[in-house]
Amino acid sequence: MVAWSYLERGEALSETGADFSYAYINRANARLVRHPGLALSDFHHAGMHPGRGLIGAAAVMLAIGFGVVKRRRSRKAIHA
């Protein structure tokens, strides 16, 4: 089978002298809606890890949520 592009052959930067990270990012963005698993694989191949950002955002949202709940409970205890 003939591979038509460097992406299909999986050649790395050191083998070809070219950097295909932007090509992987573009392909991942194009696949994101219909094939999220393949898109995540492309992001990882490009050296990006979007899951880490998601985990960080979730942690911040949880911390804010816990702070709001704690503040509401303390106000109810004072006024009761």
- Concatenate the DSSP letters of all residues of 2-55 into one string: ---SHHHHT--HHHHS---HHHHHHHHHHHTTT-HHHHHHHHHHTT--HHHHHH
Residue 59 is predicted with a pLDDT of 95
Q: What are the structural domain ranges in the chain?
A: 14-48, 49-80
User: Which pTM value belongs to this model?
Assistant: 0.51
Residue 15 is predicted with a pLDDT of 57
Give 80's pLDDT tier (boundaries 50, 70, 90): low
Q: pLDDT by residue (tens digit) across 12-51?
A: 545 556 678 889 889 999 998 999 999 989 998 888 888 8
Q: Which long-range contacts (CB under 8 A, 24 or more apart) does 40-46 make?
A: 46/20, 46/21, 46/22
d(CA 23, CA 40): 14
